[in-house]
């Protein structure tokens, strides 16, 4: 093992001693379903800095880590079921190596996925809120928008995530097209999990709390940033045990579930936001970044 490590190190030294010998790659899927998370990476035999991936008009700062053929940067991306049309979308990778800026772009075909309708009965004021509540709702939307734009380069997320409840029972899937009291509204931007009032909610990833509050529709809300645009969101909480700025560890009890906001009963709403896009959080629970990258295509980056 030691000899292998030494040989690998020697190889890396040889490769990084001359710039002409360094090779870099990007990895991304060429086709994917709308609403589903996918993995991307930048990797190189030599040191590089400032890795950024631009997807859906958002620039996502990545981290440089040891791994792959020398150095690697991991990203998790996706598209929001509520406003993404099927078609071809450009993905752009950038990084700096040996004083030069490298760029690589590609195309990802996003395919439609059929998500069923769901009829729900809620209090009428949760479908058409009273006028006096509108300024409050607008103010909350501003706070949420800012929280979801948080971009920190350090990767605190590790896969697979910790499931947020010790018993995971899905009661409403991500992507369900929701009809409230007969009125069609936005699709479901997360997963609803069965949880009696007061159930422990665990942090899926390590991170930093970027927003907490009791919001009109979402009720008790918690937003956790885990780096590279990866943000976990919980709604309808009865009690939030952390505050803005708190550093939290993976699996930490961060809140108690409840039935606050627009709900039909007690449950935990769990959303995963990747670079501003709400994606289905459930499939990620049973996979890893390494497995996900195997579903992508790797291509070498040329100096442009
Ligand atoms: Zn929900």
pLDDT 10s digits, 213-259: 999 999 999 999 999 999 999 999 999 999 999 999 999 999 999 99
Mean pLDDT is highest, among 65-69, 123-127, 199-203, 297-301, for 199-203
pLDDT 10s digits, 275-295: 999 999 999 999 999 999 999
Query: Can you tell me whether residue 198 is helix, strand or coil?
Result: coil
| Residues 219 and 161 placed together within one structural domain of the fold | yes
Distance 72 CA to ligand 1 centre (A): 35
Distance 234 CA to ligand 1 centre (A): 9
Domain that holds residue 39: 2-113+292-300
| Residues 173 and 264 placed together within one structural domain of the fold | yes
- Global pTM reads 0.89
Distance 172 CA to ligand 1 centre (A): 7
| Residues 77 and 122 placed together within one structural domain of the fold | no
Distance 95 CA to ligand 1 centre (A): 37
Contact between 16 and 10 under an 8 Å Cβ cutoff? The reply is no
Report the CATH number at residue 266: 2.70.70.10
In this model, does residue 304 exceed pLDDT 50? no
Contacts of residue 43, defined as CB under 8 A and 6 or more positions apart, other chains included, come to 24, 25, 26, 27, 67, 68, 69, 70, 71, 72, 73
Contact between 158 and 97 under an 8 Å Cβ cutoff? The reply is no
Average pLDDT over residues 15-28: 74
CA distance 252 to 242: 10
Give the residue from 28, 59, 187, 171 showing the smallest Cα distance to 112: 187
- Cβ-based burial of 215 (10 A; exposed 0-12, middle 13-18, buried ≥19): buried
| Residues 108 and 124 placed together within one structural domain of the fold | no
- Cβ-based burial of 111 (10 A; exposed 0-12, middle 13-18, buried ≥19): exposed
Distance 17 CA to ligand 1 centre (A): 53
Distance 213 CA to ligand 1 centre (A): 17
Alpha helices in the chain (DSSP H): 2-17, 134-148, 289-293
């Amino acid at each position: 093992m030691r000899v292998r490590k030494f040989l690998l190190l020697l190889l890396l030294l040889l490769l990084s001693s001359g710039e002409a010998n360094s090779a870099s790659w990007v990895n991304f899927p060429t086709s994917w379903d709308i609403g589903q998370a996918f993995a991307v990476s930048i990797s190189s035999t030599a040191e590089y800095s400032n890795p950024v991936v631009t997807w859906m008009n958002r620039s996502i700062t990545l981290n440089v880590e040891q791994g792959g053929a020398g150095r690697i940067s991991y990203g998790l991306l996706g598209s929001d079921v509520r406003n993404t049309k099927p078609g071809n979308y450009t993905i752009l990778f950038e990084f700096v190596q040996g004083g030069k800026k490298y760029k690589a772009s590609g195309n990802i075909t996003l395919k439609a996925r059929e998500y069923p309708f769901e009829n729900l009965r809620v209090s009428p004021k949760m479908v058409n809120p009273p006028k006096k509540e509108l300024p409050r709702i607008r103010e909350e939307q501003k706070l949420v928008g800012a929280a979801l734009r948080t971009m920190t380069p350090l990767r605190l997320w590790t896969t697979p995530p910790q499931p947020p409840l010790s018993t995971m029972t899905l009661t409403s899937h991500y992507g369900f097209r929701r009809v409230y009291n007969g009125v069609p509204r936005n699709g479901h931007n997360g997963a609803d999990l069965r949880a009696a009032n007061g159930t422990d909610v665990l942090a899926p990833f390590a991170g930093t709390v970027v927003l907490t509050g009791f919001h009109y529709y979402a009720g008790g809300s918690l937003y956790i940033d885990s780096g590279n645009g990866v943000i976990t969101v919980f709604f309808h909480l009865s009690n939030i045990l952390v505050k803005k700025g708190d550093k939290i560890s993976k699996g930490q009890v961060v809140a108690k579930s409840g039935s606050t906001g627009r709900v039909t009963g007690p449950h935990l709403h769990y959303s995963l936001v990747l670079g501003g896009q709400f994606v289905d959080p459930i499939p990620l629970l049973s996979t890893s970044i390494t497995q996900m990258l195997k579903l992508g295509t790797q291509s070498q980056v040329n100096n442009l």
